[in-house]
A and B are shown apart, each in its own frame.
Chain A
């Protein structure tokens, strides 16, 4: 192969690398050519591809949970050696209180009933009730089924813009197997974005006809006009293909 042909071939493969479409064989070929190709050190093609992509990239706000996760990782960046222990400390913290209490129980054989209990946490149903009573401007929308297997579904969504708090009260939503699929709520807020905001992933376990589910909006929403429940893969998705739309509530 002439030098010019080699350069052309390298360019084509490098474009493939940048576009992410190299096959395994092409990857090996790229590596081979990159070793001999003096132009392989330049990234102009990759810069161009990045700029073309960024041209059409509308920055999309990070959820507060991810933003916090990233910020929490910074101290670990600064000292790699401490990274593991730092992570361990973070993950252990929530359990520390319970572990201490358990140790005390074992060591001193304290009857469980004698330990002062914390202020009882309200159930979601109670929180929903409280939100409705305390915040009169709270929005209430009825859910209606969106596809055949879910025809028996009913319920409503309760949402308060100011508090950024809301709940769904769902009746007859079929039980799901979380290892196979999970329900996910989407909040449609045209004032915010044309893409719906993730409202959280949830499961319906057996034994309850009516389930009260808290809304866990990843981003702040301003004036939601619709709430959509879809069935997604375990863990939820970033963008729903809306292959299985379960129920819809709209104003």
Chain B
């Protein structure tokens, strides 16, 4: 089955839950009460709710990249420590809470993976974009179905690589072995695919329409 078929027909449940980028309990209503602003004020009960609501999401992200249980648990603790530390940077106009927390979890677990390969950590880089900043055409403002509808117009090989990387959590090396595509090409195609996806979504959000 091709990746685009997968998106279209067989992932309805995660469609509902995730690109919505929120656990089932996370409401999309405009009058939603956010936990992170309360966490930012040092509200311990809100932090507990935050762990209850997003712990399973963080754990899933961590487990995609870190296989050793002890390390995965440690990473999970680090992630929530960081959530506590930088909760004040959450901006509901830029992202959903689950996206904000998911982004921290991604950064941390990718760093953990890189540490294993003796590569410099990325989440400690100077000039790292703030989690509260975004262009006006933030993808947050787009409806999730519209996002995926537009991404379906990406080239099929890009969608396949996206599937292997984002869905199956495969490393570039693993993708290269699986697809028989040179490692450098996998890397380049994934990077450019991500940039292309952003471009598509921006054009779409600007109402320009896209012709590929």
Which residues of A does B touch, CB under 8 Å?
Answer: 11-12, 15-24, 27, 30-31, 34-35, 40-62, 66-67, 69-71, 73-75, 77-78, 198, 201, 233, 235-239
Whether B88 sits at the interface, judged by CB under 8 Å, is no
In the bound complex, do residue A51 and residue B19 qualify as a contact, i.e. CB atoms below 8 Å apart? yes
Give 23 CB contacts A-B under 8 Å: A12-B191, A31-B125, A31-B127, A34-B127, A42-B134, A45-B195, A51-B147, A54-B98, A54-B102, A55-B148, A55-B167, A56-B167, A58-B60, A60-B59, A60-B63, A61-B56, A62-B59, A66-B55, A66-B73, A69-B73, A198-B69, A238-B68, A238-B69
> What residues of chain A lie closer than 8 Å to B66, measured between beta carbons?
238
> What residues of chain A lie closer than 8 Å to B76, measured between beta carbons?
62, 66, 70
**Cross-chain contact of A50 among B23, B56, B103, B167 (Cβ < 8 A):** B103
In the bound complex, do residue B60 and residue A236 qualify as a contact, i.e. CB atoms below 8 Å apart? no
Whether B187 sits at the interface, judged by CB under 8 Å, is yes
Given known A11-B195, A18-B194, A77-B84, contact A55–B18 (CB-CB < 8 A):
yes
In the bound complex, do residue A43 and residue B197 qualify as a contact, i.e. CB atoms below 8 Å apart? no
Q: In B103-134, which residues have CB < 8 Å from any A CB?
A: 103, 106, 110-111, 113-114, 119-120, 122, 125-131, 133-134
In the bound complex, do residue A51 and residue B69 qualify as a contact, i.e. CB atoms below 8 Å apart? no
In the bound complex, do residue A235 and residue B63 qualify as a contact, i.e. CB atoms below 8 Å apart? no
In the bound complex, do residue A24 and residue B120 qualify as a contact, i.e. CB atoms below 8 Å apart? yes
Q: How far is the CA of A22 from the CA of B84 in the complex (A)?
A: 28
Of chain B, the residue at the smallest CB distance from A23 is B119
In the bound complex, do residue B77 and residue A21 qualify as a contact, i.e. CB atoms below 8 Å apart? no
Which residues of B does A touch, CB under 8 Å?
Answer: 11, 14-15, 17-19, 21, 23, 42, 44, 47-48, 51-52, 55-57, 59-61, 63-64, 66-70, 72-73, 76-77, 80-81, 84-85, 94-95, 98-99, 102-103, 106, 110-111, 113-114, 119-120, 122, 125-131, 133-135, 137-140, 147-148, 162, 165-168, 172, 187, 190-192, 194-195, 197-198, 201-202
Shortest distance from the beta carbon of B58 to any chain A beta carbon, whole Å = 8
> What residues of chain A lie closer than 8 Å to B81, measured between beta carbons?
73, 77
> What residues of chain A lie closer than 8 Å to B63, measured between beta carbons?
60, 238-239
> What residues of chain B lie closer than 8 Å to A49, measured between beta carbons?
106, 166, 194
Q: How far is the CA of A57 from the CA of B167 in the complex (A)?
A: 7
Shortest distance from the beta carbon of B68 to any chain A beta carbon, whole Å = 6
In the bound complex, do residue B106 and residue A50 qualify as a contact, i.e. CB atoms below 8 Å apart? yes
Shortest distance from the beta carbon of A51 to any chain B beta carbon, whole Å = 5
> What residues of chain A lie closer than 8 Å to B167, measured between beta carbons?
55-56
In the bound complex, do residue A12 and residue B106 qualify as a contact, i.e. CB atoms below 8 Å apart? no
In the bound complex, do residue B133 and residue A59 qualify as a contact, i.e. CB atoms below 8 Å apart? no
**Cross-chain contact of B56 among A19, A22, A59 (Cβ < 8 A):** A59
Of chain A, the residue at the smallest CB distance from B104 is A50
In the bound complex, do residue A16 and residue B187 qualify as a contact, i.e. CB atoms below 8 Å apart? yes
In the bound complex, do residue A16 and residue B191 qualify as a contact, i.e. CB atoms below 8 Å apart? yes
> What residues of chain A lie closer than 8 Å to B122, measured between beta carbons?
17, 20, 22, 27
In the bound complex, do residue B57 and residue A54 qualify as a contact, i.e. CB atoms below 8 Å apart? yes
Shortest distance from the beta carbon of A157 to any chain B beta carbon, whole Å = 21
> What residues of chain B lie closer than 8 Å to A58, measured between beta carbons?
14, 17-18, 60
> What residues of chain B lie closer than 8 Å to A46, measured between beta carbons?
103, 106, 129
Q: A56-B167, A73-B81 are in contact. List 13 more A-B contacts (CB 8 A).
A: A12-B191, A19-B187, A34-B125, A35-B126, A40-B127, A42-B133, A50-B99, A53-B64, A57-B14, A62-B59, A66-B55, A70-B51, A71-B48
